[in-house]
A = this chain, B = another copy of it.
Amino acid sequence: MTSPLENTVQVAAGDSRYDILIQPGLLATPAAWAGLPKSAQAVIVSNPTIAPLYEAALRRALAPHHAQISTVLLPDGEVHKDWVTLNLIFDHLLAHGCDRKTVLYALGGGVIGDMTGFAAASFMRGVPFVQVPTTLLAQVDSSVGGKTAINHPRGKNMIGAFYQPARVVCDLATLATLPPRELSAGLAEVIKYGPIADMAFLDWIEAQLPALMARDPAALAHAVRRSCEIKAHVVGQDERESGLRAILNFGHTFGHAIEAGLGYGQWLHGEAVGCGMVMAASLSAELGGVDAAFAQRLHRIIAAAGLPTQAPHMPAEQWLALMRLDKKASAGEIRFVVIDRPGSAAVRPAPDALVAQVIQRHSLPA
């Protein structure tokens, strides 16, 4: 017999130490909820899509630990990841007499996790929070590592904090209810870990894509675990992205431009990252870090995961203007995460003309 929590990844980021628990059925596993910060009040932050599915189970899990549990529902979707929505959390916390010990639980995908985390970082200058990610993307990427933020009309995740959760509880059973488009979006971030850090994992992903697309529990468990291990390793070395951590942004410079250019929520974040990785791989090949066959292979895997590989049409100047607002840019120079050899990434500038050529190659015509 295995331990009730056999599948755990530990994160050590700055002064924080916490566990990522990965297993089906954790919402109904008492051990997954023991030992968290104690408080009279707990607040579940979720949305109207997720709450009907999992709020009751989460309340049952938390009942032994908090005398009062309330829920605040945020409107669903990236387009609402802004100050107005964030303020719904603050309003709720203050209307319910919450204090510095109140624990927030983020029940949902990346948008819920990012906003709950930033609310926890800022409410009374910091209260504890727990990530309970219910999408593949949140389980393999956004719930881990303490990046929290809201969007600004001029750019994604422009306002936020580095603020680590007390725990991440990935109940793999929640992936059963995920719409197919969201499953693909999550696979984009899983695929990402291969080219930047672990080519053996990319080989595994390529071989297991049919099982992953069919939501095979063992395949999903391995995908989430290995993704979290790589992310925890990177974040452990560079919590605040002074260097290495930026490699986790492979595909994101192009991807964020797609999201902001189309208006948040048109494409899912993972879809934009998938297409962005096709473009970033192409740029990597142009810069000589990998060969064209490598870029083509990545392109094929991304397409096979059900992700878009052609960007929407935008004028080149709009692309460049949006990418100059990227957080990696410095003194007006755009910097890209490129693959400098298979399994290894680096941050590099690239000539505007070359970038424009890559954009044109991978975009729909006007």
Contact = CB atoms under 8 A, between A and B. Distances in A.
A160 B40 contact: no
A284 to B, nearest CB: 23
Interface string A138-168: 0000000001010010110111111000000
A123 B154 CA distance: 12
Q: Do most interface residues of chain A lie in helix, strand or loop, or is the interface mixed?
A: mixed
From A158, A159, A324, name the one whose CB has the most chain B CB atoms within 10 angstroms.
A159
A122 B159 contact: yes
B327 A159 contact: no
Interface string A84-116: 000100110011010111000000000000000
Chain A interface size, as a band, is 35 or more
A147 B126 CA distance: 11
Instruction: State the oligomeric state as a number of copies.
Output: 2
Interface string A322-346: 0011010111100000000000000
B126 A161 contact: yes
Interface string A75-87: 0000000010001
Contacts of A83: 83, 87
A121 interface: yes
A97 B324 CA distance: 8
A240 interface: yes
Contacts of A331: 40-41, 99, 101
Interface of A: 40-41, 83, 87, 90-91, 94-95, 97, 99-101, 121-126, 147, 149, 152, 154-155, 157-162, 240-241, 324-325, 327, 329-332
6 contacts: A83-B83, A94-B325, A97-B325, A99-B331, A123-B158, A123-B159
